[in-house]
Amino acid sequence: MARRSKEDAEKTRATILETARQLFETQGFSETRVSQIVERAGITKGALFHYFKTKEELFRAVWEKLQGEMDAEARENAISARSRDDPYASFLAGCKTYLHWAARRDYQQIVLIDGPSVLGLSGWYEADDELGRSNVKAGIEHLVNEGIVQERRLPALSVLVHNALNGAGFAMARGEPDVTEASVLDAFEAVLKSLR
Amino acid sequence: MARRSKEDAEKTRATILETARQLFETQGFSETRVSQIVERAGITKGALFHYFKTKEELFRAVWEKLQGEMDAEARENAISARSRDDPYASFLAGCKTYLHWAARRDYQQIVLIDGPSVLGLSGWYEADDELGRSNVKAGIEHLVNEGIVQERRLPALSVLVHNALNGAGFAMARGEPDVTEASVLDAFEAVLKSLR
DNA sequence: TGGTATACATACCGCGGGTATGTTGGGGCC
DNA sequence: GGCCCCAACATACCCGCGGTATGTATACCA
């Protein structure tokens, strides 16, 4: 076999990404063998390493795709929930979306668990900064403009909130007693409301 | 060389743990080679695998030791800060300690970054439950008793708070602008106080 | 004063990520 | 419409690294 059309090539790349995503999700990064991905995708190692220099680079691509999907959804929901009456509405919609994603197995294993370990401390934050965090930050910035939160507390607060939601997603998916999407949102909103 | 006295044996084990801890901290788990640990510790692979069945088991031992140290300090500080006047004092002291640890490189890399990845989703929580989380939970339980927080919000709130502090430690150590121990504690206390 | 289990050392294995080297056909170009 | 270069894969092989099988000397106990 040899060179195929451009559409075929793009399809191959997409297949690799999708297959890797599934295996990374169910087995984790280190337990997933390149040979496994290759087998399931119906290709060879040569093809995989043609598109991705290393296993880590493939992981990064999967990671970025997942994060991108989440980010897009969060932004969309935050925007469409905007209203004059309630400055919290947009912010809450974004957080809700994020919380929802953080409860997904694929997001947990790939983005939250293996992400930091594979991408490294600096690499993870570098990439994470433009995504999840900025979303939360924008929401709190809105609260600052409304005079609900003091401006000097914006950086620290956004960090606190972002990571609070992260962990909540974990706990939820783990099926921890009394930690459900509803109870988390309830507690979260309670804290927010007390800020008024 | 062969069998040494019990003290020697204990010392060897401690040396392995300490050496591994240093390398895991600076290079991460996957980048650290067993041969490296062995070399630095001045022993052989035979010795290492005599004490620890696998590299993962060695990591788990290092992980548990670190967590144990943190937990002991947090409990101690929380207890000694107890006072009748301020129900927050003890809770805050525990959180402060935890935040401090979450800002340490070794704690970050080993417990927060590599921990979940190596121990797995379930394993991590299983072990983490009896440590970091319980500390925070106890603090909030105290607030429940004081009537400051509604009981039904205890589980979700403790999850939120615990992870908020986790992430804050990360951001601090990363040298993020305007995210310092002081600013985080300020924002954290502001949220807590608004709960009253 | 043996005998046994412990505390290591040495030599080796096999898995798995990565690489070096093809091979074939698409498509731009004249 | 022939030509040729390079993309798009396939095949075979390498070697680092975690783990194991085996050896061996000595502390400790009977």
CA–CA gap between residue A47 and residue A31 (Å, rounded): 21
Q: Above pLDDT 90, what percent of chain A?
A: 57
Which of residues A174 and A133 earns the better pLDDT score? A174
Interface membership of B171 toward A (CB under 8 Å): yes
pLDDT of residue B125: 73
pLDDT of residue A129: 65
Protein chain B, residues 147-166, with a C-beta closer than 7 Å to any atom of nucleic acid strand D: none
User: Is residue A2 very low, low, confident or very high in pLDDT (cuts 50, 70, 90)?
Assistant: low
User: Is residue B89 very low, low, confident or very high in pLDDT (cuts 50, 70, 90)?
Assistant: confident
Q: Is the pLDDT assigned to residue A1 strictly greater than 60?
A: no
B37 CA to C14 C1' in angstroms comes to: 22
Lowest mean pLDDT among A158-162, A192-196, B25-29, B63-67: A192-196
* Contact yes or no for A117/B114 (Cβ under 8 A): yes
**Helix, strand, coil share of chain B (percent; to 5):** 80, 0, 20
User: Is residue B15 very low, low, confident or very high in pLDDT (cuts 50, 70, 90)?
Assistant: very high
Helix (H) / strand (E) containing B177: none
pLDDT, tens only, B68-80? 999 899 889 988 9
Q: For chain A, how big is the Rg over CA atoms in Å?
A: 19
Mutate to test the interface with A, among B56, B140, B157, B193 (most CBs of A within 10 A): B157
The identity of residue B24, as a single letter, is F
DSSP B59-76: HHHHHHHHHHHHHHHHHH
pLDDT, tens only, B168-194? 988 888 888 899 989 999 999 888 888
In Å, how far from its chain's centre is CA A82?
Answer: 22
Protein chain A, residues 57-76, with a C-beta closer than 7 Å to any atom of nucleic acid strand C: none
Tell me which residue of B141, B173, B41, B184 sits closest to A154, measured CA to CA.
B184
Compute the mean pLDDT over every residue in chain A, rounded to the nearest whole number: 89
Reading phi first (left if > 0) and then psi (alpha if -120 to 50, else beta), residue A175 is in left
Q: Which residues make Cβ contacts (< 8 Å) with residue A95, sequence separation at least 6?
A: A136, A139, A161, A165, A188
CA–CA gap between residue B48 and residue A150 (Å, rounded): 54
Q: Which residues make Cβ contacts (< 8 Å) with residue B45, sequence separation at least 6?
A: B34, B35, B38
B9 CA to C2 C1' in angstroms comes to: 24
pLDDT of residue B78: 87
CA–CA gap between residue B63 and residue B51 (Å, rounded): 16
Tell me which residue of A77, A67, A135, A78 sits closest to A107, measured CA to CA.
A67
CA–CA gap between residue B184 and residue B170 (Å, rounded): 12
Q: Return residues 78-137 of A near B (CB < 8 Å).
A: 108-109, 112-114, 116-118, 120-122, 125
CA–CA gap between residue A3 and residue A179 (Å, rounded): 52
Q: Is the pLDDT assigned to residue A88 strictly greater than 90?
A: no
Q: Is the pLDDT assigned to residue B97 strictly greater than 60?
A: yes
Give the mean pLDDT of B53-65.
97
Q: Which tokens sit at A10? A: 């793009």
Give yes or no for CB of B153 within 7 Å of strand C.
Answer: no
Q: Is the pLDDT assigned to residue B133 strictly greater than 70?
A: no
Tell me which residue of B78, B194, B188 sits closest to B138, measured CA to CA.
B78
Give the mean pLDDT of A155-173.
90
pLDDT of residue B1: 52
User: Is residue A7 very low, low, confident or very high in pLDDT (cuts 50, 70, 90)?
Assistant: low
Q: Which tokens sit at A147? A: 């005079």
Which amino acid residue lies closest to nucleotide C20, measuring CA to C1'? A46
pLDDT of residue A151: 94
pLDDT of residue A82: 81
Q: Is the pLDDT assigned to residue B90 strictly greater than 80?
A: yes
Q: Is the pLDDT assigned to residue B145 strictly greater than 60?
A: yes
| A101 min Cα distance to partner chain B (Å) | 16
Q: In Å, how far are A57, A133, B3, B20, B165 from B32, measured between CA atoms?
A: 20, 30, 28, 8, 28
Which of residues A78 and B25 earns the better pLDDT score? B25
Chain A residues close to B176, C-beta within 8 Å: 155, 159
CA end-to-end span of chain B? 66
User: Is residue B64 very low, low, confident or very high in pLDDT (cuts 50, 70, 90)?
Assistant: very high
